[in-house]
Amino acid sequence: MPYECYSVRPTAVMGGIVMQPKYNKQLVPFARQLRKEMTKEERHLWYDFLRGYPVRFSRQKILGKYIADFYCAEAKLIIELDGSQHYEPEEMQKDADRTSFLEGYGLTVIRIPNNEVTGNFCGVCEYIDTAVKQRTKASPE
């Protein structure tokens, strides 16, 4: 299970609410490895679009018990690139659980198939740009 870790331990209990650590420190070496060994689609999206994007993105960002492919804190946006294995029933359930967990923290998860990055790169970039702008625009007064 490359992106999941079930050993997150509570650090404190306050007012009956279990507070979890900001991220699982056990995932740090794995996140570093994933940054060094990005897929060709991740490299393409990172080096040809997200790295120079005006709103800061992080790659292989640890969020709780998961590692997000790309994360924009300002937009509260996660971008996941999905290879063919993500369309197997078991993996689809894991992805749904992961998305639910992350959305519980007010984050939006965008899932993009790898073949879209390869075959429709401009469309993927426009989609991400629109999502970021929608999530970062000031609320009307």
Determine the Cα–Cα distance for residues 68 and 127; give it in Å rounded to an integer. Answer: 18
Q: At what angle do helices 121-136 and 40-48 cross, to 10 degrees?
A: 60
User: Residue for token digits 């997000």?
Assistant: 68
Whether residue 141 is contained in a domain is answered as no
pTM for the full predicted model? 0.73
Identify the pLDDT of residue 109.
Answer: 94
Whether residue 47 is contained in a domain is answered as yes
Q: Domain span at residue 64?
A: 12-136
Whether residue 82 is contained in a domain is answered as yes
Number of domains present in the structure of the chain: 1
CATH of residue 88: 3.40.960.10
Whether residue 4 is contained in a domain is answered as no
Q: What is the pLDDT of residues 13-59, one digit of tens each?
A: 323 333 344 556 776 665 666 667 788 999 999 999 999 999 999 99
Whether residue 95 is contained in a domain is answered as yes
Mean of all residue pLDDT scores within the chain: 76
